[in-house]
Chains A and B, each alone.
Chain A
Amino acid sequence: MERSTTPLTGIKPGGHQLRGEVVVQHQRRRILDATVELVAESGYRALTVGAIIKRAGVAKLKFYELFSSKADAFLAALDEAIDGVGERVSAACEAAGDSLPERLDAGLGAALGFCAERPELTRAVVLEAPALGPEAAGRGEAAVAAFAPLFEGKIGPRRTRRPPPGWEEGVLDGLYWLLYEAVLSGRPKRLGKLRPAMVEFALLPLLGPGATASA
């Protein structure tokens, strides 16, 4: 660590302010990455601030300038993941137009793609976020909102049937469980194969025999 830094910015006196912000952003990034790696490796409960700063190569003081606790750091990584997947899902759904099956296919493909690109983040978030317990309050709603664009399409001109009550919530829970199982199995390649099954799972309640008969 540098010797003559000010406690607040970690930048040498007289250093350019912009550069200071860049450095802080960089340190924040390193802390978040280290947190995710460590959680993916050995779980949230085993996580310590000491391990984070060691892995990230930042001073303890610096850590506490940016985060109040290990939970705070993991929550920041969690929020970033939810935002990241939400942006991808939303962009893919928008590009897919307003057909529900196409939105589901594109949006779920985007979500699974995000997970496949970042296996550590996925493992950390999917398997270990629940360990945050009540501290993760509100993140469930944020995650649901991130996937909302999936359901904003039309079923099709001939099938105007309204979905059963609680359909979106139930489908999303089911989809998330399938993702959870795949991540738990520790075989990330499974994720890619999930896409068609997920799309069909979401559509089954709408395209089932009753729907076709009375649409």
Chain B
Amino acid sequence: MNTWIAIGLTVLGCYAVKLAGLLVPAGAMERPLVRRLAALLPVALLAALTAQQTFADGHALVLDARAAGLGAAAVALVLRAPFLLVVAAAVVVTAGVRAIGG
């Protein structure tokens, strides 16, 4: 049930902001500070999520195969690999390190 509540809230919230962008008159959100904040908010969230989903195990911080996978993804990004290849690199390297027993 909790999962459905979370899904319902996310569906409503995410659709509402998408629609708001198309409906709201241009002037309302064009203030430089608001635009700047909207651009920086995803940076903060994505950075925190990347770090947590790489190094968190419940409430503990751990260094395991995922870190190696993310390292591979970072290298792929520096080499300008396409999106799918970046994700694949992370998955394959993580699986490989686990198989070896890291």
Partners in one complex: no
B residues with a Cβ closer than 8 A to A are: none
